[in-house]
Chain A
Amino acid sequence: MLKYIVKRIVNYVVMLFVAVSMTYFLASAFMDPRSNYMDRHPHPPIASINHSLDLANINDQTPILVRYFRWLKAIFTRWDWGLAPDQSPVGPAIASRIWTSVELVTLATIIGIVAGVSIGVYTAIRQYKWQDRTLNIIATFFLVIPPAVLGLFVVLIAIAINNGVGTRIFYVTGLSSYQGSNPFLWLLDFLQHIILPTIVMAIPGTVSYHLTQRTYLLDSMNSDYVRTARAKGLTLNQAIRKHALRTSLIPTTVNIAFSITGVFTGAVITETVFAVNGLGRYFVTAINGNDINGSVCIAAFGGVCTLTGALLADILAAWLDPRIRLS
């Protein structure tokens, strides 16, 4: 097993290197940081523009391979991911936002998975009963609501509650505002901030895991081995819990593992609605601002997340399914 994992990791590192290099070339070809300066009226002297671009190693007048090797050298020798066009270092900016994103999405993801899978199992066992139909209707309802609308809707309700009660229970912007040193008050403050974005992000997760898990479980519930288990003397519920559930969790674990990347960079809308400075918003700003180094760095981080997810998916699937483990 260990040998298998090491082999996989080596494979992934090679793949990641190739992918990130490709992204670097693509970004260099399509993004034009020079235009950031040329659009100004009057534009700064050309020499000064070139100087600024050279400092950030994004001057289109330098051959691309030269820039590429400089960029590589900086990463491998100093772990320096370069500068944005405005000369601010990219690495620290992303590092601080990773933590913000982790705070923002972890809870929502976990709630989405646990609630979604549980509801999926609950409804699959009660297929076509009123509980199943009701939850299905609710799920479909949330499935078609765009996240921005859902976010604004939650904000409006929160504000209405705040106004109704007369004190501020929910904060609708940022992730913290407490300045003191009391850990309990800090936690309370954090929860007051995090609860609304968590609700907004947990709902789509719950809905998608609910619907897929329901299908997976229904598939394995009707399989022959569940019937065999019942013929041995297990009740229907025992047979489903013990025999159908485990096989139906295999595809779900693979889904979860692969969703890690999306979790970090896909929260743009929620971040915007709640004015949180996370990775998603950074990514969009980097692309708009012709920030080559910033975009590539985000892509590299996304790649690491995807491959970690893939590795995790492989390990979990092998753990759940002996057919993979033993071959």
Chain B
Amino acid sequence: MNMFRKTKPAADAAQTPAVPAASETLASKSTYDPNDKSAPVLEVKDLRVSFASEAGTVRAVRGMNFQLHRGETLGIIGESGSGKSVTSMSIMGLLDSNAKVEGSITYHGEELLTKTDAEMSKIRGKGIAMVFQDPLSALTPVFSIGEQMAEALTIHNPKMSAEDVRKRSIELLTLVGIPNAEERLKSYPHQFSGGMRQRVVIAMAIANDPDVIIADEPTTALDVTIQAQVLDVLKKAQQETGAALIFITHDLGVIAGIADEIIIMYAGRPVEKGSVDDIFYRPVMPYTMGLLGAVPRPDKSKSSRLVPIPGSPTNLVNLPKGCPFAPRCPMAEDKCRTAEPDLLPVVGRDGQVAACYRSGEIVAKNLTFRDVYQVGEGIKSKFDGVPREDRAVVLDVKDLKKTFPLTSGGFLRRKIGVVKAVDDVTLDVREGETVALVGESGSGKSTTLLEIMDLKKPESGSITLFGQKVGEKMSRQTKRDLHSHVQYVFQDPMSSLDPRLPVYDILAEPLKVLHKSKAEINTRIDELMKLVELNPDQVDRFPTQFSGGQRQRIAIARALAVNPQLILLDEPVSALDVSIQAGVINLLEDLQNKLGVAYLFVAHNLSVIRHISSRVAVMYLGRIVELGPTDDIFDHPLHPYTEALLSAMPAPDPQYERTHNRIVLQGELPSPTEKIEGCPFASRCPLRLTLSEEQRRMCDTQPPKLHQWSGEDRQVACHFAAMA
């Protein structure tokens, strides 16, 4: 009954000697027995993928190996360009035609790499299914959900009757938690939110009970509370089908809670592999250590500086001789720079393998992240020891409101409603501190920043900057002065810097607005480049010649050029890789301590916020629901939304993730156009469910005001915060 063996994995014999040690642990089974329950469903051996590009051959994957059994979850972690997505796409056979794929991928003993597109299409969606990153673009906009579900079923079961297809579609959509599945079949993708679309994609992926589900960054584009829901759905889908799951991500927190085994990839190669506990608690490869050390923790108070991995990710076209991580590795020695280390079993560890010459030494001496990396000392703050009350207020926002009119699509564009983007926001920022605005997308964080930056009289409420009330009757001079005190840093450094201006001109622009002399500008630019730890000689280069992290440094330097006292930062690190992110966060901290500048920081990443901010304001649907010192809020959240948000945030700690009881919020963020009588959070509130009939009525009819919390320096907008 060897029905699966159509092609003999002939590559085995030839490939094994190439990776002698890896084969012992990873590729020990060379024959496949379908009756053997312990046989792997998927086996990847010495996978190598390269692309031809104008700059030369890009070697995207260089020797990937793993085995996957039913029910197992394999996590693949790596930064952008590490080859994790290319690996998944080569398993699916969905790579571009200019990709050169070598090695072997066997599914139930069948070689996949030699198959044609038509043969592969019989396996795709039936044996191996995939969930993609961006749910907003993953569904065809012109077909209804029902049609797309039906397609997934009928393509592999052409004889299925229309009625069966319908029943099965409803069953699948219900399984992934889509309410009113029967009616929703007629809906089109644009009528679903991102989280709901991802559920549909998962439903399609499990439609034919696949043996392997590949999830490529399935929650990266989603909000934290929705991410928690989708992760639950994915786990449930895996249990229902008993499939093996390959979970690809850059987020160490997400992977800690879901994976059994983890492969860390760097520059197209697996550099370490082991059980989730070994990787998180006993990493051997310095890169793994660096990754873990570079992420701030959401569940622990800020203890010390983050440790960035020096340098920037390797260029895959001109790989250095030797270990590709050597140029960034603090432990690199001459040997590392001459020959690339093989992936070898780590002595004394069961099943853990690492590609590092010094792994023996690391294990023997029990070296940890703190020993390997230099943990830098932070600069002492200018305002150290000055209590908050004694610091000057730089920004004072009172009852700020911003609405957008909602117009009909017709010729006359009649106003048919309003979107309350920002609703009664009150907060203050004092010198030398970081206040963070946190919330899901659509909660009004960025709009608040833009309203402040606008320097115009707000629709309602007031904005006071450095004691100057922002209104319509400001002279040009006052406006210009205010602009030099408040600056803005955007999320995406690629699009916020003009690609056709050299760095010098980018930095000189704000100074020219202030009519500085040429000599002044030159000295200032030199200072700025040093301040953000870039080489001042590189000012004649263009933004594209810098890496993402360096570009964000340039954006920060541009903001600093005019010596502002307040910088508004809109998700400044979310577009950066983990190892780079830490460096930028450290830089922001140092600059604040050195210059005493205040930050109003918008982010959706709670770990970053916990690390960098001293005060935090949690926003929901345009309102602040809780405000107070960061540690107090993270340790003892008062508002049920804050509690749910914090609980949904995954931590890079498998033990914590296993024992942690996550509050998964039901439902979605209500549309901002909806008119809500009472508390905007009432529709999703877990606390409300525990309340009496009378108390619930209060939630539904009276909007709670942000009020002082029993004498403490905290404010909360909930009628029943004490009961949480």
Contact = CB atoms under 8 A, between A and B. Distances in A.
Contacts of A327: 409
Contact of A231 (B129, B137, B140, B191): B129
Nearest to B205: A231
A42 interface: no
B141 A321 contact: yes
Interface stretch (A140-148, A206-214, A233-241): A233-241
Interface in B133-154: 134, 137-144, 151-152
Given A11-B411, A232-B155, A227 B94 contact: yes
Interface residues of B, number: 36
Nearest to A320: B142
B490 interface: no
Given A322-B142, A322-B144, A232 B124 contact: yes
Most A CB within 10 A of own CB, among B139, B142, B143: B142
Interface string A286-327: 000000000000000000000000000000000011110011
A241 to B, nearest CB: 12
Contacts of A192: none
B151 A232 contact: yes
Contacts of B188: 322-323, 326
B499 to A, nearest CB: 22
B204 interface: yes
A40 interface: no
A238 B120 CA distance: 13
B140 A225 contact: yes
A134 interface: no
B92 interface: yes
Contacts of A247: 140-142
Contacts of B123: 233
Given A234-B151, A321-B142, A326-B191, A225 B137 contact: yes
A230 B94 contact: yes
A247 B139 CA distance: 12
B117 A228 contact: no
A229 interface: yes
Interface string A215-254: 0000000011111111111111010001100110000000
A224 B152 contact: no
B292 interface: no
Contacts of A7: 410-411
A196 B139 CA distance: 46
Contacts of B155: 232-234
B444 interface: no
Contact of A223 (B122, B130, B137, B144): B137
B142 A227 contact: no
A202 B476 CA distance: 60
Contact of B121 (A11, A224, A234, A326): A234
B222 to A, nearest CB: 15
Contacts of A229: 140, 151
B126 interface: yes
Contacts of A226: 140
Contacts of B124: 230-233
A323 B409 CA distance: 13
B115 to A, nearest CB: 12
Given A247-B140, A321-B142, A326-B191, A233 B126 contact: yes
A7 B410 CA distance: 9
Contacts of A235: 117-118, 121
Contacts of A225: 137-141
A11 B156 CA distance: 49
B141 A322 contact: yes
Given A231-B124, A232-B155, A224 B141 contact: no
Nearest to B409: A327
A326 B125 CA distance: 30
B720 interface: no
Interface string B646-679: 0000000000000000000000000000000000
A126 to B, nearest CB: 11
Nearest to B134: A224
B137 A233 contact: no
A232 B142 contact: no
Contacts of A236: 117
A320 B121 CA distance: 27
A243 B130 contact: no
Most B CB within 10 A of own CB, among A223, A225, A320, A321: A225
Contacts of A246: 142
B132 interface: yes
B152 A232 contact: yes
Contacts of B140: 225-226, 228-229, 243, 247
Nearest to B123: A233
Contacts of A233: 121-126, 152, 155-156, 208
Given A235-B121, A327-B409, A228 B191 contact: no
Interface string B311-336: 00000000000000000000000000
Nearest to A15: B411
A238 B156 CA distance: 13
Contacts of A238: 121
Interface in B88-143: 92, 94, 117-118, 121-126, 129-130, 132, 134, 137-143
Nearest to B137: A224
18 contacts: A223-B137, A224-B132, A224-B134, A227-B138, A228-B139, A228-B204, A229-B151, A230-B94, A232-B155, A233-B124, A233-B126, A235-B117, A243-B143, A246-B142, A247-B141, A247-B142, A322-B141, A322-B188
Given A231-B129, A233-B155, 15 more contacts: A224-B132, A224-B134, A225-B137, A225-B140, A227-B94, A228-B139, A232-B129, A233-B123, A233-B126, A233-B156, A234-B155, A246-B142, A247-B141, A247-B142, A323-B188
What 8 pairs between A and B have smallest CB-CB spacing? A233-B125, A224-B137, A232-B125, A225-B140, A231-B130, A322-B188, A235-B121, A232-B152
Interface of A: 7, 11, 223-236, 238, 242-243, 246-247, 320-323, 326-327
Interface of B: 92, 94, 117-118, 121-126, 129-130, 132, 134, 137-144, 151-152, 155-156, 188, 190-191, 201, 204-205, 208, 409-411
